[in-house]
Amino acid sequence: MRWFIRAIYLVIAVTVIAFFHYSLPSRDIVQIVGTNEVRMDVQDSSWFWASKDAGTSTANNTRDVRFINAQYPDGGPRVYRNEDTSWGWPPYLKFDSGNLHAEAQALAKQQDVQWVAVHHYGWRIPIISLYPNAYKIKPVAGPDVSLFPWFNVIFLTILFLALFAIWRRLDRWKDRNIDPVIEDVGSAFENVGDSVTKQRKGLSRWLGTWRRKS
């Protein structure tokens, strides 16, 4: 039973970590090499995809998806989808996928090598054709630029402190309201047990007097 409870805790922990890893922003230092649009049916994994462009029809899951093609400093490929998040989750409030597409096209046409930090969220999972969603492109000095994830650190710190404060309040509330009730119930059971023991002893003594008379 102890291993089963540990397994449940492990599943919960992995789920929470995966949720935040997918939703929180990440940044890649890459070079934009091109853009394209692909008509796709995203029904199979639609919960991972953002909404269609703001103001367009949502009657079906077939859509024209914009993609930004990039390259890592070591030559490895990197592909991002470019979709509006609108008012959905994660709450990036992205409504300018068209503008971002034009910006990426301009960077791809430059003759000089231009390194940029692509801000995005999500995962790249080829087996289900899943791509991270880019929401901002920012030029950087070069491929060796190191960017510290200040937002993630501050957000997770605040979240941890908030959860710790809630846990402390609940723990104090339990100490004031739940634990005394449990102690009273335990005392009541002990008193009942003592009473039953006394009655059993009394019955035994009474039966003993009859045995002696016999």
Domain end residue (candidates: 102, 126, 147)? 147
Domain-embedded: residue 16: no
Domain end residue (candidates: 105, 132, 147)? 147
| 154 in the same domain as 141 | no
| 91 in the same domain as 35 | yes
Task: Report percent pLDDT > 90 for the chain.
Answer: 52
Look at residue 203 in the predicted model and tell me its pLDDT.
53
| 137 in the same domain as 69 | yes
Is the pLDDT confidence value at 191 over 90?
Answer: no
| 199 in the same domain as 143 | no
Structure tokens that stand for 79 in this block: 């592909």
| 57 in the same domain as 152 | no
Is the pLDDT confidence value at 166 over 70?
Answer: yes
Across 5-33, average pLDDT? 94
Quote the Cα angle for 62-96-40, to 5°. 15
Q: Tell me the residue range of the domain where 105 lies.
A: 25-147
pLDDT tens for each residue of 98-112:
999 999 999 999 888
Domain-embedded: residue 2: no
pLDDT tens for each residue of 36-95:
998 877 665 566 777 665 555 555 667 788 999 999 999 999 999 999 988 888 899 999
